[in-house]
Amino acid sequence: MTRNARPFLEKLQDAVARSGSLLCVGLDPDLSRIPARFRSADDPIAAFNRYIIEQTAPFAAAFKPNFAFYEVLGQAGLQALAATIAAIPPEVPVILDAKRGDIGSTAEAYARAAFEVWEADALTVNPYLGLEALSPFLKYGDRGLFVLCLTSNPGAAEFQTRAPLGEPLFLQVAQRVAAGTPPSVGLVVGATHAEHLARIRATAPDRWFLVPGVGAQGGDLAMTLANGLDAGGSGLLIAASRSILYADDPAQAARALHTAIAEGRKPGAEWSLHEHLALALADCEAVRFGEFRLKSGKLSPIYIDLRVLASYPEVLSQVASVYAQLLAGLTYDRLAAIPYAAMPIGTAVSLLTGKPMVYPRREVKEYGTRRSIEGLYEPGETVVVLDDLATTGASKIEVAQALEAEGVRITDMVVLIDREQGAAADLARAGYTLHSAFRLTELLDILTKHGRITAEQRAQVLAYLEADRS
């Protein structure tokens, strides 16, 4: 069998079924790090790669050589790449990681190199020049492409999460790929941004995602699987390179990751984004349990302080993603964050969604502009009110009425946690709909399930809530 005699998707699906794996082993050899016993070989890189392939093939659904690690070695490196691809069993897909993307004849040359010279089954490509630049690659209709969507490096936030056109750039890329390319075109989505995977999966439900960042980069595998698996429990290729290549026992490292992926694919094993966020809120002590005296003088067994999110940017990013999901079903022009706890949240949500934000002042200054609302808006616009918590609804109604007095329209309010103490009903009577990421009982259930609080603590909080309602 020649290496690319079968269509990429067919070969990939067969490889996944045969191996029971979603593991993609990255072949990114660094000559300075490979074991000494391979360095005396005529072609040390090829010898090392053959060893890695033999050790990991039983656990791999695909192999991914990164072109840069071969190109940097000149002619010898390109020879090593050819030998490496030849060593990969022909029934296992080869994804050439080269991140190509250019115009016209240049892109045509890149496509010929990837699919005719190197005989890759799939190629990573860059969408920066627009989908037009992918046309030469798409002419090889039986081959696969993985379009850079949300990459695993920290600097990805410079451009990819910005929202100049109303939605973050990574989501616009996912939308264009899902709507305008054949099924053989997937997306590159880093596991280091697993909190965004649910939105990308919802946008591209049937596409394969190539997911780097698990392993040496510290991506969260459980969260990646929870948010990225498709409806059939597949659709992800979890790429790992250094954590396998330079392990003392590469076979054992590949087997361990294969097993962890398999466990995460089992029905009931998945964690939702909400579960991860609930645990993160407990870890950063935004939700605390004990005995706390409230402003009212009452003693409470639970204390929720979401102001601390300003000091935990990763958790704040997850919070913003959850708000963005709630907002996705609403029609609105602007956000209005209630000071003070919702201000960091509102800012993060505004940056993620690209929607402008205003906020009502608690006290109107007697100097300067004397504005009661900071930020720009137009009468007649629809505004969604954001807050951190909902208890009774009274303060939110007061804010909404102040905003409405300035001529804007409000029908919806979004919070992270509904304390289930009457806010939803109060707001509904006033003509507003409350949307929450968590009901407090739901949050308690998650924390109990994962052992962060005991069943007795949960019961104590529920009893307190019931007494407070009566």
Spatial contact of 380 and 403, defined as CB atoms under 8 Å apart: no
Spatial contact of 433 and 411, defined as CB atoms under 8 Å apart: yes
> Nearest Cα to 240, choosing from 13, 457, 26?
26
Gap between the Cα atoms of 376 and 335, Å rounded: 11
Gap between the Cα atoms of 291 and 406, Å rounded: 42
The number of beta carbons lying within 10 Å of the beta carbon of residue 419 is: 21
User: For residue 31, what are its two tokens?
Assistant: 């000559």
Element (H, E) at 291: strand 287-293
The number of beta carbons lying within 10 Å of the beta carbon of residue 347 is: 18
Any residues with CB less than 8 A from the CB of 376 and at least 6 apart, and which?
356, 358
3-state SS record for 197-252 = HHHHHHHCCCCCEEECCCCCCCCCHHHHHHHHCCCCCCCEEEEECHHHHCCCCHHH
Radius of gyration, alpha carbons of the chain:
26
The active-site residue out of 11, 64, 99, 396 is 99
Spatial contact of 128 and 101, defined as CB atoms under 8 Å apart: yes
64 is catalytic: no
ω before 332 within 30° of 0 (cis)?
no
Task: Please report the sign of the dihedral spanned by the C-alpha atoms of residue 202, residue 204, residue 206, residue 209.
Answer: negative
Task: Give the helix ranges, DSSP H, for 32-141.
Answer: 36-39, 44-56, 67-71, 75-87, 104-112, 135-138
3-state SS record for 347-415 = HHHHHHHCCCEEEECCCCCCCCCCCCEECCCCCCCEEEEECCEECCCHHHHHHHHHHHCCCCECCEEEE
> Nearest Cα to 317, choosing from 356, 270, 273, 374?
273
Secondary structure letter of residue 338 according to DSSP = P
Secondary structure letter of residue 121 according to DSSP = S
> Nearest Cα to 399, choosing from 416, 375, 383?
383
Spatial contact of 212 and 194, defined as CB atoms under 8 Å apart: no
Active-site residue set:
99
